[in-house]
Amino acid sequence: MGSLITALASYCDIKQAGGQWLVRIDDLDPPRQDPNAVASIIRSLTVHGLQSDRPIEFQSNHATHYDAALKKLQPHLFYCRCSRRQLRGLGRYPGTCRNQKTFVENSAVRINMQDGEQSFDDGFLGPLNIDLATQLGDFIVRRRDGLIAYNLATAVDDGRGITHVLRGQDLLPVTAPQRYLMTLLNLPLPEYAHIPCLEFEDGSKLSKQTHAPALKDETAAQNLVDALWYLGFSVPEDTKSVPLILNWALEHFNPAAIPKRLPKYRSSRV
Ligand SMILES: [Zn+2]
């Protein structure tokens, strides 16, 4: 339900602006992936009428783009062999390996964070000012196991023509590092809006880790009505099919009407 809410909000937002809604699967972490998960996400989006306006992209197909970006970033990169234990308890990376400019076996690649001050206008939260250098420090762009870090992959992909990003506030912490990379790579920055996430009664976010119940595709129309309700919109009772509900949503959705905090998750809403 949490994922449906953000997907639906981004769909309505960009469609109302006459734009295209795109689906990209962030599948760079094969060891952690359930092979059936991607197929089930795509099936679920389709059943809920949320169709990508272009062929679905997969980050796992974009290795050449990411390698090219790493090359461009080279002057800002260094190799880090600090162990997790060495870094434990530190709020941010202390810059230990900053002078390690040549490749060493079994090392992560980090970016030398100079001026990490990021100011931008969030479409939902308003003006934000984040000091990356003190909050995060030199962050990882390629992991020790060779995998491209999520922030670099997303910066590169969003920089290839994405104009608007609407997502959950759980992803707010990655926005500043992604913008930082996009600026270094000379990529055009999208506009961002971060809407509140659906939470359980105790304040934890609905996710696989918190054992959120899976969305039932058989009740797609009701799921959409519920998602809109959490976002603050009441679909009339006689609007019952998926296409009719989506049409209604496109007419009535307004990001400014989304509450600052969504109502807490209920397993059955009445
Ligand atoms: Zn290090």
Per-domain residue ranges of the chain? 1-60+196-270, 62-162+175-195
Q: Which structure tokens are listed for 123?
A: 């479409």
Rounded to a whole number, what is the distance in angstroms from the first to the last CA of the chain?
A: 16
CB distance 59 to 26 below 8 Å? yes
Instruction: Give the pLDDT score at 208.
Output: 76
Q: Determine the distance separating the centroid of ligand 1 and the alpha carbon of 121, expressed in angstroms.
A: 33
Q: Determine the distance separating the centroid of ligand 1 and the alpha carbon of 82, expressed in angstroms.
A: 4
Structural fold of domain 1-60+196-270: Rossmann fold (3.40.50)
Class of domain 62-162+175-195: alpha beta
Instruction: Give the pLDDT score at 270.
Output: 46
Q: Determine the distance separating the centroid of ligand 1 and the alpha carbon of 116, expressed in angstroms.
A: 19
Position 245 pLDDT exceeds 90: yes
CB atoms within 10 A of CB 240: 12
Q: What percent of the chain has pLDDT over 70?
A: 98
Q: Determine the distance separating the centroid of ligand 1 and the alpha carbon of 142, expressed in angstroms.
A: 13
Q: Determine the distance separating the centroid of ligand 1 and the alpha carbon of 154, expressed in angstroms.
A: 23
Average pLDDT over the chain, rounded to an integer: 93
Q: Determine the distance separating the centroid of ligand 1 and the alpha carbon of 251, expressed in angstroms.
A: 52
Q: Which residue has the tokens 């949490």?
A: 2
Which pLDDT band, with edges at 50, 70 and 90, does 202 fall under? Answer: confident
What's the whole-model pTM score?
0.92
128-142: average pLDDT? 91
Q: Determine the distance separating the centroid of ligand 1 and the alpha carbon of 97, expressed in angstroms.
A: 4
Q: Determine the distance separating the centroid of ligand 1 and the alpha carbon of 29, expressed in angstroms.
A: 22
58-63: average pLDDT? 95
Same fold, 1-60+196-270 and 62-162+175-195: yes
156-182: average pLDDT? 96
